[in-house]
Every structure is written in structure tokens, then in C-alpha cells.
Structure 1
């Protein structure tokens, strides 16, 4: 008994749904296109096309200060965010071993200098004796060779002493530029070792009033970007503000990740208030094209497709390339534009019109050619229908 009731209920519901669908279809067919579809008038205006990507804010010059000698940090003169001048002491390393080496080199210079004085005196004595024929020429030449060897040893000892003095001065790490300390990676008492790779001790941003953005753009967009183009960008720290910049350089070194090729586009910008900080994420938009007084068609109209059962839809008009382009002044761009189809209401029926398109801002597209005119209304969507046969934004409820 229960099974029979269930089957009866299902049958009633199926009949009700079929009847409701048929009724709704009849109501739609009875409506005029102006009631059934959402229409929007074609207008002229300005349109701007942009390409977007994410990037990172960096100082124009970021100097990694390292050390050429090893040692233990004994003094720290600067910390994070400190302003420093060129030549200012940043930190000092323990110089005990290097100071001892410098003293040893200085003593060696004095020792070799004394040996040179003796060699010169011997040479002078040999010359006097050779003139009196008391010594042979060979003995004279040996004294000359001894003097020259002592001179070379003295030059070598002085060079070693100079090297040790330079290494001793390197125990005081000084700033190579004027700027702001953005990172300090060593602490007091830490031992640093200078081997084949110079360790980084402190990072200094030379000037935070001028910064740059390193962003990655896909290869599909890179052909539209040129040096000097205007850039707008935002950062998460100030979502309500928009900042300006300029394309400085398109780096020719591509990066490939998961078969996606990107190029680094460097953007230069001014930061006079120092509110933009290194490391911030920037959401970059580059203006690649702009048109004024262009004929604009909504992108929703290009996406619209009439229902297949619509009896009032006319066949698509033929290709309009080369018909003079009532859509704009940019005939030079016609060959590079894409084509699309929009629908207009003509004598109570939908008429499909082919148009040739230019740039787009993802909301509207520029019309370069076609039969569209200013003020003509295109279909951008379909209205919902109520039981009263009037357009409504609320869908029909069966139960």
C-alpha cells in the first residue's frame, strides 16, 4: 500500500514539473524581446587596457656588508633601522691575532733593513779593495748580488707588513654607503669566518625614498609592456591607497616554472614619505593601451548566447571586415583585433551582429568595425519570468 502511494506521489510530482516547465516556456515565448532580455545601450567613452601581476618592493641599492677577515664580534655600533653615513664604523672584530701578526711583520722589516745596511757597506768596501786590486772581480760581484738580494727582501717584508696592517684595519667594519640598516645578522660575541665566501653581517638600503618593484609577468602579456609605461599598484598595508610608478626595465632572463614562462619587469617609484617598506607585496597594473571616444560594447553582450529554441532569432549576419568600421577611428588596429558577436532587437526579433574588437578593460570592449551605432541596445542577459508574465529578478517557485 505504501509503495503504491509513493509511486502515485512521484507521478504527480513529475506531471507537475512537466506542466510547470511547459507553462514557463509558453510564458517566455509570449514575451516580447524587450521584456525577456536585459538590454544596454551602446555608448562612447574612454577605455584603458591593463595587465596585472604581483611583485615585491625592494630598495634601489641594497648593500650586503661582509668581512674579509675572521674573528669574534667585540663591539656593535648600529642596529636595525639606524641611519649610517659612508665610512661610519658598524662593528669591530677581535684584533688580537692580527695585531700580533702586524707587530711581527714590522720587526721583520727592521731586521731585513739592518741586513741591507750591512750588504751596502760590504759592497762599498769591496769596490775600494777592487780598485786597489786586493780582491777579484768575482768577489765584488758577489757583494753586489748580496746587496740586491737584501733590497728585494726588504721590499717583500714591507709588503707583508702593509698586508698585515690592512687586515688589522679590516677588523673595524665600516659602511660603504650612506643609508639605513635593514638587517643585522650577527650578535655580540659571535664568531665570523671569512673563507671562500664572504659572510654577510649587515644589510644597508642606500635610499628608501627611491624604490623598485620586481614583478613577474607571463609571456602572453610581456609583448604589450614597454619601458616608460605608467604603473599603478597597491599594497596590503594601505589597501585604500593607490601608488604610481613607471616601467624601468624588462629583464631578458626568463623564469620557467611548471611550463609557465615569466619575465621580471622592474618598476621604479618614489617613496618620499618612506611609508613603503622593503619586502612588501605589490599588486601591479600596467596601462598598455588607452582609447578616448571609443565605441564601447559590454563584455556581457559578447558572452550572451540566445536559447536555441528562440523562434525570433535571426541568422548571424555576414562578416563585416572592411565595411568602414562605424565603431572607431583606429583603422590601423583592425588587422590585429579579434571578432565577436552581439545581439540586438530588430523588429521584435533578435538579430546577431558581428563586430571587430580592439582593446578591453574586462568590462567593456572597443568596437573597431561592425554595424553597431551609438544608442543601439544590445542584449546582455536574460530576465527571469514570473507567473504574471513580467520580467522579475526572482526565479519561479514550483512549491
Structure 2
């Protein structure tokens, strides 16, 4: 069964639908003849030698046909395949709040923008900020006076004019003034630091990353400890799984978890296995981290995870049920090739949620047509009809 298909998939599919819906054999023949003529005129036709059951399609044609690509998932008797959601690394995300209340007079970052550690995110204007800054100025003035008195007492003591006790007292006052200034500066730093005026403080980023949430607007009056931003370092993201106590006992920190979404695949590493069960679900939480420096994963994105449990049996393969079509009475998947897709018969095992086990026919590293793969089945059937199969 050698099939040569045109580069115009939508036109060929339209011919099949027209022939099936009109009920007129003549109309169907005319549509098929038109598709054949278009195929013969295509510059891509004949560019590659067709193999058995292969359909030539470009990446643009695949996109226009609405065909989504999916990966084969490795699984088996000792593995679990579970849905999950990409989350921010718990240790790489921080809430930025206002240490004191006031009115927001400046915002320097918006959602999605990058920020470095210590850079200003917002400026708040308030009377409490004025008090903190005033205390620093007063402490600085007292320290300058105390240091001046200490220098005078040192000179007088050296000239044998003042007794040593006066020198000790002056030294003590200067030390206390330094402590008072340092305390006032730390209080301002805890509130956010200087904001360019006595009645302003700056709200600074606690880590480098991206602004992933902003719950404040310019001119808004905020209370102390109110959340203003969330900053996340998305160089690492996480997936959280809920496992039964028996399965969680077979997982250790450092275990590998495969994360799949469409044609993307990553390996996550287990970072935490909770020793405590959730009070409601009675399941154990497992958190795995993914290296996301390439930026291929987004927080909130749904994924499929596969984790191999210790002591598990032989591995098998899983494919989404949407990728399986019946062709000539056999279960078939369409494997992505350099020039399109290859119809590949497979042997199926038991279903696993939205997936089905494949016991033979695949190696495990293939990229398949998933949702809308039925359009390839229709095209394959049309090609067989044209060649008299």
C-alpha cells in the first residue's frame, strides 16, 4: 500500500466530506478528480518517496488541520501516571508586602517584568515613614555631637585638663549614639528603606525574578502587612503530586519524574516527600522540581506526570486515547516523521484514565498525532480508495 498524498490536505479532506454528504456519485467523482489535479500540480508532489501508509504534510498544514502533537509516556506496573499542574518553586516565590501603611505614589514594575534583588517595586508615602526618617536624622545629629564631645575630651585629657572619668563618659555617650543611629536605620530598612523624601519609603524586591502578581494600584492606600506583589524566580518550577501512603513509601528525594505536555518533555527530581498525610484526602504530598531556565514551562499549565515506583515491574507505554484510530480493523497511531505522519499499527492493553497502554508497536520516544488525528485517518482512507485498495 503505497500512497502519494498532496500538499493540500484541507482540499483533500473537503473532497472526502463532499463525497460522503452529497449522496451523488457524480459530485463525489468530480471533487476527487479536482483534488487529484491539485495534487499533480503541487510542486511538493513527488519530492519524497512515499512509504507504506505515510502521509506527507508540512508543519503549516498540520497546524491548519488542527492536529495536536503528543508524546508517548513511559509507564508500567511499577509506575504511576497522574495529572498535575506546573507551580512556582515554593522556595523561589515570595510575597512582597508593605511593612507600614500609607499611600502608593509610585509603581516601577508591572506583571511579567523582571526585577533584581533589592530593586524598588513601589514607593509609599505616610506619616509613619516621616517619623522613621526623622528618627534617623535626629540620631545622626546626636552621634555627630557625641563624637565632637569625645574628641574634645580626648584632647583635654591628653593635656591633663579633664579627668579620665570625663573621657570615659564621653566615650560611652558616643557609643550609645552609634547604637541609636544603627537601630533607627534598621527600622527604616525593615520598612523598605529610603524613598527619596522624609515621608516616603521604598518597597524593594526580596529576590531576583519576575513579577507574577500585583494587587496594588497607583494612589491606593494600603494597610501595614498588605500584599502588594509576588515575585518568583521561574528558573525552577515544581509539580505537586498526591500519593497514597503505600505509593509514597516507594518514592525518595532524588527520584525522577517525567513531565509531559504535548511535544514537550522534561525530567523533574523529587525534592520533598511529606511524612504527614493530608487530613482531608489522607494522601501524602510529593513535590518535584524542574529546571526551567529555558522557560518552556509556565506556572498554572496542566501536564501529565509519570513516576516509577521502587520495586515496580516491567515498564510499558501509554498514549492518549485521542491518538488511537481504527484503520482496517486495527488499532493505529500516526507517528510524526520528517515529512508528515506514518500510520503505525499497535497492540493495546488496558486503559489508564485518559490514556491507554500500548504493549507493542512503539519504542517509547515517538511523537504522535493526538487530538484531531481522525483527519489523518480520513486522508489515509481517501488515498487507499484512489489506489484501489
State the TM-score, normalized to the length of structure 1.
0.47
Query: Which structure has the bigger radius of gyration?
Result: 1
